[in-house]
Structures are given as C-alpha cells and as structure tokens.
Structure 1
Amino acid sequence: MRLRLGQTAIVEKRHTRRWPINILLFIALLLCMVWSMCVGKYPISPKESLLIIYNQIFGLSGPYEPIAVSVVMGLRLPRILAAVIIGAALSISGATYQGIFKNPLVSPDFLGVSAGACIGAAIAILLALSSVYIQLFAFLGGLLAVGITVTIPRLIRSDSNIILVLSGIIVGGFMASIFGFIKYIADPETQLASIVYWQMGSLSYVKLSSILGVLAPIIVSALVLLAMSWWIDIISLGEKEAQTLGANVRRILYIAILCSTLLTASSVCLAGTIGWIGLVIPHFARMMVGTENTKLLPAAALVGAIFLLMVDTLGRTIGTAELPLSILTGIIGAPFYAWLLYKQRMKLQ
C-alpha cells in the first residue's frame, strides 16, 4: 500500500505536465499526418495536399491533376486516418488490460485477444460473409479468447500474474493452430490471400467506407474507458480496497474487458493483427505522464497513433514492396520492450 501511495504522489507531481505533454503529442500527431500525406512514390507538397482535402470536403474545384486527387483522397487519407484510429485503439486497449489485471506484461496479444479476433475474421471470410459479420465474428473471437485466458487461472485457483501470462500464451498457441488449419482449408484463389492479410496486418486496402464501419464502436468503447479510467485506478489498489471505496469491481471489470476487446476486434477488422502496440506503447506513455490511468489513457492514445502512423509510412516508402505492419512493429517494439525490462531490473537492484 505504501508503494502505491508513493506512486500516487509521484503522479501528482506530474499533474502539471499532463496537458502540456498531451498538447505537444497532439501537435506532433498533426505534423506526422501532414508528413505522411506528402511522402511516397508520388510526392505531393503539404500545401497541395491540404488544399485537395479542403476542396474535396466542400465540393470545390482546383487546378490539380486527377492522379494527385486520387492519391490523396483514395490512398493516403484513408491510411492515415486508419493508422491514427487503430494506433490509439490498441494503445488504450493495452493500457486498460494492464490496469485492470495489474500486470505490465498483459496486452491484447498476450491475452489471445488479437489471435481470437483474427480467427473470428478468418471464419467469416471462409463463410463468405459481409464486412459487418466479419467485425461481429472478430469481436466474438476476441471475447472468447480473453474469456478462456482469464478462466484458466481461476480454475487452478491462482492469482499469479505469471499464470495469467502463461494462460494467454497457451490460448494464443491454440488459436494459432486453429488459424493454421483455417488457412489450410481456405481456397487459395479466393480466400487465402484475404486471410493472410489479416494475419500480417496491413492498411493497403483500407477505404473510408470501411473506416466508417468501425468508427462508432471504437469511439464509444474509447470514451467509455476514458470515463472509467478513475475506477480502473481504484481497482489497481486491490479488490478489497476498491470495494471499500464503493467500486463494483465485477461490473467495472466486465465493462472494461468488453470495451477493450471491442477496440482490439474493431482494429483487427480494419487492418488485421498488429502486434506489440498494445504492449509497448502504454509503457512509453507511463514514462511521460505516470501510472495514473486518467492521464495514461489519453497520452497512450496519442503516442500509439503517432507510432503506427510513422510505422505505416515507413513500411510503404522504405522499399520497392510494402512491408506488413506486424514485421515493423515487432522489429521496433521487441528491442524497446527488452530495454524497458532491463531498466526496470536495474531500478529494483
């Protein structure tokens, strides 16, 4: 308890830094969006890009080449919006999971949520269902995966964080086997490419219409979690302390898990499985604003949006062929997380 009170005191000292940091992050996000709009195999100036978007929104005409309008409105703008939305959604989801389970090693990937959502989407593709059902199946798959992961420690009556992580690894491995079987039976001409797309993660085929299809559940879930962030802080004190302060622990956990799973599943529906963001970004945000979730969730959303936007832009510009997002996020995220673990160990010593 003294440790948590000490952590709270540190967070309070950082209170005055909260909004300046968030403002700086928001400005950095806007600059990254402009940069991403301009770079690529067809370079476009910032002024021209912004004028094209402005004229298209208000139905105005301008002296622009049709290819420039097509590149900005049909290719780059949807990718930029999707990267921002998905990066923020996965980061909020990861930070929430880490808060409610009181475990910094937890993420949508380690709990099997991403794998379960990917399997749900793959099953919907296998059945030739519409995008609405793909989203629904992805959500149900993610919810089933996290449900199994959380149930295993309860069955063996263990509250250990290590057991929870191991349960997630077990569920993730099982889901990977099912996913491999789905790929094996999928039609290589009409279905396999789409299923592999979900597995590797990419924004290549994202359209504005597909973004609108998942925007409502992402916004609602994110707002609910932001509104609940204070209660998540209360839960992190422990179940007995939270109940003493008037928290309905079970209801808060169910709502938080439901919204976090919906964020991850919606992201999977839009771009497939993208690893490491939900695990690494919350740690990076904690280094800037502290551990209090009321400050952490907004900062994590901004950092995650910037990170995924930069990764996607690099993935489509650094080579002749576009690199899948999961490859780049793994290359960047894994060493950073190893450094965080090393730094934490040095502090304990």
Structure 2
Amino acid sequence: MARLSAARTTAATFAIALFALAAAVAVMATGPLGVAPDQLAAALFGHGSPDAELALTLRGPRLLAAMTCGAALAGAGAGFQILFRNPLAAPDLLGVSSGAGLGAALALLLGAGAALVQGAAFAGGLATGAIALACAAMTRSGDGRLALILCGVVAGALAAAGLGLVVVVAEPYSQLPSITWWLLGSFTRATMAEALMAVIPAGIGAAILIWLGFRLDILSLGDEQAQSLGLPARPLRILALCAAALMTSAAVAVAGLVGWIGLLAPHAARLVVGEQAGRLLPAAMATGALFALLIDRLATAFGPAELPVGLLSAAVGAPAFLFLFVVSSRRS
C-alpha cells in the first residue's frame, strides 16, 4: 500500500509539472507574439522561423523568470513549514525578502544598473538571513526553532525600517517610481542573463532540500529525536535554512517582493501528495511555478497598463489560501 501511495504521489507531482509546462507553452502560443508549439520547439534548437525566435527572445526570459521564482518561493516555503512544523511559515521567515528589498532599494537609490540591483538584492537577502541565524545562535535558547523565528522577525523588521527610510529619502520623480515598482514585484524587466542567474542559486537550494528529504521530517520532530536517530541536527538544520534563504534571495532578486506563493503553493501541494518532505517539496515547486506563471499572465490581461505581480499574487492568493484552509480543515 505504501508503494502504491508513493507511485500515486509521484504521478501527481509529474502531472502538476506537466501542467505547468503546458501552461507555459499556451502562454507562448497566445498574445501578440504567439507562436505555434512546433515552431516554439524548433526555435529552442535554433531552427525556428524568425517570428518564433523573436518571440522566444522577447518572452522567454520573462517566462523562465516567472517559473523559476515561483518554484523557488514555493520550495523555500515548504522547507520552512516542514522544519518549523508551522503551516504559516513563509519564505520571509528569516527576514530574507525584506533584506533583499532593502539591498535593491539602496542600489536603485545610488543609480546602479539592473545587474547591480539584482546582486544587491541577493546579497541583502542572504545578509539578513545570516544575521537572523547568528542572533539565534547567540541566544543559546533551548528551543532553537522559536529563537530563529523571533530573530527572523527582528531582522526583517530592521530591514523593513531601513527600506522605509530609503523610500523617504528617494527623489520622488526619478528614483521613487522605480523603487516602488520593484517592491511591488514584476517579471517584466527580466533578461535571460538575470533569469539564468536566478536559476543557478535556486537550483542549488532546491537540490539541497530535496537531498535532505526524510531528514527534514526527522528534524521537524526536534533536535533530541534527530540526534537519537544519529542525525547531526544542528548542521543539517542550518544547511536547510541556508538553502531556503538562498532560494528566496534568488527569487526576490529577479522579481522583487512577490508574496503568498511560498505560503499558498505548499498547502495546495500538501492536499495532493501529503506531508512527507520528499514528496511535498517537488510538488510544491511545480505548483509554485504554475501559480507564478498564471499570475504573470493575469497581470497582462487588463490592457496596456500591466498590473504588478506582487499585488495580484496577494489579491488571488489570500482568498485561495482561505479556500484551501477550509478544505483541509474539513478533511481533518
């Protein structure tokens, strides 16, 4: 029976991933630069028509960035929820998103280019997460998870305060609009180089979390139980937290502050594949990629004036999360 259940959950994960890929093909096939799937496949290998190659060049980076960021945020959220046994845990649990926002805002304030803005956001997110981890280690609290949550809240609040100060200081006509637009979240300006720069750290973080697998389930029971089973609890927990922070920083560096994906996607995947980390993480990443892709497509459906992705993710994610909460409560 366990094998049958594992086969079903694996099939469900593949189905979600295939649905996300089908949605990506559908997005490329519609719109002003829509191309047929066969032409798109030929363009991927450099043998497509000029129109197909143009569409792939212009729309491909945005599509890749959306799916990468959605998968990264969902995987980080699932990792945090498993580690802390907290269904409300999100990718910003260690203040990573706020730190990345502060780094990007400072770079924009100084007039940096797109590459430097992305690098500053990535560095700011990792620095905030490192501060939270260091402060939690200094407390030497008996409940390490509670100390991490509290230190993450403090680090995130400090980064948010710094971000507010940057917004106040920014020049209102030239600097403030770009800072505000970035903070609201968008995949519009993503280039192929930026998308690939997000794929690498996000892929490394995802590989680490998936490799940890069942170890995350054991770590969620507490350090004493993990050590009794022969697992080095503290190093593995720090490794998992660093992997989740790396994924979050990569996503925020490309797209800005896009909320709710890291909270909603793991809950949706959990209803299908269950609680085990080895099954939940891939399913959550596939669900997050699909959700980000659909939200990004929705952002362009209201005419020439494109809506911010972060705004739409909250508008759609909040009622969707409430619906999932009601469904899961009735099941339990």
- Relative to the length of structure 2, the TM-score reads 0.87
Question: Which amino acid in the other structure matches residue 259 of structure 2?
Answer: G
Structure 1 counterpart of 2:110: 127
Question: Which amino acid in the other structure matches residue 143 of structure 1?
Answer: L
Equivalent of 2:39 in 41, 45, 51: 51
Distance 1:336 1:73 in 2: 31
SS at 2:92 equivalent: coil
Question: Residues 39 and 317 of structure 1 are in contact (CA less than 8 Å); yes or no, is this contact kept in structure 2?
Answer: no
Equivalent of 1:138 in 101, 121, 127: 121
Q: CA deviation at 1:341?
A: 3.7
Distance 2:44 2:320 in 1: 40
Question: Residues 53 and 73 of structure 1 are in contact (CA less than 8 Å); yes or no, is this contact kept in structure 2?
Answer: no
SS at 1:258 equivalent: helix
Of all paired residues, the percent bearing the same amino acid is 34
Equivalenced residue count is 331
Structure 1 counterpart of 2:198: 214
Equivalences for residues 67-106 of structure 1 within 5 A:
69-70=53-54, 72-106=55-89
Structure 1 counterpart of 2:251: 267
In structure 2, the CA distance between the partners of 1:132 and 1:257, relative to structure 1 (3 Å rule), is farther
Structure 1 counterpart of 2:19: 28
Distance 1:257 1:341 in 2: 25
In structure 2, the CA distance between the partners of 1:208 and 1:136, relative to structure 1 (3 Å rule), is closer
Question: Which amino acid in the other structure matches residue 247 of structure 2?
Answer: L
Matched, 1:252 2:236: yes
Distance 2:232 2:3 in 1: 25
Equivalences for residues 127-166 of structure 1 within 5 A:
127-129=110-112, 133-147=116-130, 151=135, 155=139, 157=141, 159=143
User: Is 108-117 or 26-35 further displaced after alignment?
Assistant: 108-117
Distance 2:155 2:323 in 1: 27
In structure 2, the CA distance between the partners of 1:162 and 1:51, relative to structure 1 (3 Å rule), is same
Question: Residues 32 and 306 of structure 1 are in contact (CA less than 8 Å); yes or no, is this contact kept in structure 2?
Answer: yes
Structure 2 counterpart of 1:4: none
Structure 2 counterpart of 1:312: 296
Runs of 5+ unmatched residues, structure 1:
1-8
User: Is 219-228 or 270-279 further displaced after alignment?
Assistant: 219-228
Distance 2:329 2:142 in 1: 25
Runs of 5+ unmatched residues, structure 2:
none
SS at 1:222 equivalent: helix
Structure 2 counterpart of 1:3: none
Cα deviation digits, residues 280-309 of structure 1 (max 9, x gap)? 111111111011110111111111111100
Q: CA deviation at 1:87?
A: 0.7
SS at 1:204 equivalent: coil
Q: CA deviation at 1:326?
A: 1.0
Q: CA deviation at 1:79?
A: 1.3
User: Is 158-167 or 205-214 further displaced after alignment?
Assistant: 158-167
In structure 2, the CA distance between the partners of 1:347 and 1:159, relative to structure 1 (3 Å rule), is farther
In structure 2, the CA distance between the partners of 1:242 and 1:161, relative to structure 1 (3 Å rule), is closer
Question: Which amino acid in the other structure matches residue 116 of structure 1?
Answer: G
Q: CA deviation at 1:172?
A: 4.0
Question: Residues 92 and 222 of structure 1 are in contact (CA less than 8 Å); yes or no, is this contact kept in structure 2?
Answer: yes
Matched, 1:15 2:3: no
User: Is 197-206 or 143-152 further displaced after alignment?
Assistant: 143-152
Equivalent of 2:160 in 170, 176, 197: 176
Question: Residues 83 and 312 of structure 1 are in contact (CA less than 8 Å); yes or no, is this contact kept in structure 2?
Answer: yes
Question: RMSD of the alignment, in Å?
Answer: 2.9
Distance 2:219 2:146 in 1: 19
Question: Residues 103 and 161 of structure 1 are in contact (CA less than 8 Å); yes or no, is this contact kept in structure 2?
Answer: no
Distance 2:238 2:144 in 1: 20
Q: CA deviation at 1:242?
A: 0.5
Structure 1 counterpart of 2:260: 276
User: Is 120-129 or 289-298 further displaced after alignment?
Assistant: 120-129
Question: Which amino acid in the other structure matches residue 36 of structure 2?
Answer: P
Structure 1 counterpart of 2:220: 236
- Relative to the length of structure 1, the TM-score reads 0.83
Q: CA deviation at 1:22?
A: 1.8
Q: CA deviation at 1:55?
A: 3.6
Distance 1:75 1:202 in 2: 15
In structure 2, the CA distance between the partners of 1:146 and 1:344, relative to structure 1 (3 Å rule), is farther
User: Is 20-29 or 119-128 further displaced after alignment?
Assistant: 119-128
Question: Residues 198 and 268 of structure 1 are in contact (CA less than 8 Å); yes or no, is this contact kept in structure 2?
Answer: no
Q: CA deviation at 1:327?
A: 1.2
